[in-house]
Amino acid sequence: MKNQGLAATKKEAAMRAFNAGLEMDMMSHAYDRHLQELVEEGKVSMAQIDESVRRVLRLKFRLGLFERPYTPLTTEKERFFRPQSRATAGELAAESMVLLKNANGVLPLTNVKKIAVVGPMAKNGWDLLGSWCGHGKDTDVEMLYNGLAAEFKDKAELRYAAGCKQDGDDRSGFAEAVEAARWSDVVVLCLGEKMTWSGENASRSTIALPTIQEALAVALKEAGKPIVLVLSNGRPLELNRLELSAMPCLKSGNRASTGHAQRQAFYPGASIRPGSWLLPSLIQQDKFRSITIAGRADAGIKDSIRT
């Protein structure tokens, strides 16, 4: 509410929201920090507090939450991350990947002896979890480099180079990445977004890849080797500057704990879903204009309140 200009302070936001009938505050800590003070100031009545508590408790009783107030410690291990659940998730993840381009039929990889795995997403488990991953652990994610190493064990040699981070302007790793590309028969270029760049309250000012990642792709082309682009992203991306017509492009998304599904697209005999992606990847970002605030503070509002 502050960012949208409806309240100047979190305390005022608590007052406005509660008096409007919002009975629960999940994560902002506006109610637990300010409702008592608002009652003392007469801006919220104790009768309102009591009635809201009754309504919330009634719902919890109806849902049966008080029938078993204590959760067994074994429940998590019994219900989550079971082998059959992970297998199903892996199948769904594999089916959701889209091969946007397969220039020159590079995929799946055959007769390849040296593979360069390059990019900030190649050995990145945390960002592959994606937005709103709950209590996800990056240690549960199979990173693409590790997956390819397992898939091509005794069949091909792999070399890794990060090249750069997801954002910033540090190009000191470009030389190592280009060297790995020249050494290889094929380059698997892993680009994408940080987990915090998509999802709720995570608007971006551009739908393009960060300039540093685009520059890495351009630098790798100088090696003259086939490049397979693997995108790990939570939103459509504008990719015009990468000249996708010249390279295969696999839209992988945020694979989370099903990262092993990525490697299946590279192995001979793999079933790859070709097709177009309905979301705009091959568009020009300057065609989009929006003056709507999307969760971030409006710099022009400052301490003023909209009426």
pLDDT digits (tens, 9 = 90+) for 115-164: 999 999 999 888 888 777 777 787 888 888 988 898 888 899 999 999 99
Instruction: Answer yes or no: is 193 within a domain.
Output: yes
Portion of the chain with pLDDT greater than 70, in percent: 81
Q: How confident is the model at residue 6 (pLDDT cuts 50, 70, 90)?
A: confident
pLDDT over threshold 70, residue 222: yes
Domain, as residue range, for 96 = 92-287
pLDDT digits (tens, 9 = 90+) for 54-67: 999 999 999 998 98
Q: Are residues 135 and 18 in the same domain?
A: no
Q: Give the whole-angstrom CA distance, residue 245 versus residue 163.
A: 23
**Under the phi-then-psi rule, with left for phi > 0, alpha for psi from -120 to 50, and beta for the rest, what region is 153?**
beta
Q: Give the whole-angstrom CA distance, residue 257 versus residue 139.
A: 9
Q: How confident is the model at residue 280 (pLDDT cuts 50, 70, 90)?
A: very low
**What's the mean pLDDT when you consider all of the chain?**
82
Q: How confident is the model at residue 81 (pLDDT cuts 50, 70, 90)?
A: confident
Instruction: Answer yes or no: is 1 within a domain.
Output: no
Instruction: Answer yes or no: is 55 within a domain.
Output: yes
Instruction: Answer yes or no: is 220 within a domain.
Output: yes
Q: Are residues 52 and 147 in the same domain?
A: no
Tokens representing 61?
Answer: 């009783």
Instruction: Answer yes or no: is 196 within a domain.
Output: yes
Instruction: For residue 173, give the nearest of 228, 123, 230 by alpha carbon.
Output: 123
Q: Are residues 51 and 115 in the same domain?
A: no
Tokens representing 251?
Answer: 């839209």
Tokens representing 42?
Answer: 């007469």
- pLDDT for the residue numbered 147: 86
pLDDT digits (tens, 9 = 90+) for 287-302: 544 444 455 454 454 5
Collapsing DSSP to helix, strand or coil, 46 comes out as helix
Q: Give the whole-angstrom CA distance, residue 307 versus residue 303.
A: 13
For the chain, what is the domain count? Answer: 2
Q: Give the whole-angstrom CA distance, residue 55 versus residue 76.
A: 29
pLDDT digits (tens, 9 = 90+) for 161-183: 999 999 999 999 999 999 999 99
Contacts of 107 (CB under 8 A, 6+ apart): 99, 228, 248, 250, 265, 266, 270, 272
- pLDDT for the residue numbered 291: 45
Burial zone of 230 (CB within 10 Å; 0-12 exposed, 13-18 middle, 19+ buried): buried
Q: Are residues 126 and 229 in the same domain?
A: yes
pLDDT over threshold 80, residue 187: yes
Determine which helix (DSSP H) or strand (DSSP E) holds 50, and give its type and residue range. Answer: helix 46-62
- pLDDT for the residue numbered 307: 45
- pLDDT for the residue numbered 123: 92
CB 188 within 8 A of CB 197: no
- Is the pTM for the entire model greater than 0.75? no
CB 223 within 8 A of CB 171: no
Q: Are residues 213 and 267 in the same domain?
A: yes
CATH number, domain of 140, equals 3.40.50.1700
CB 302 within 8 A of CB 221: no
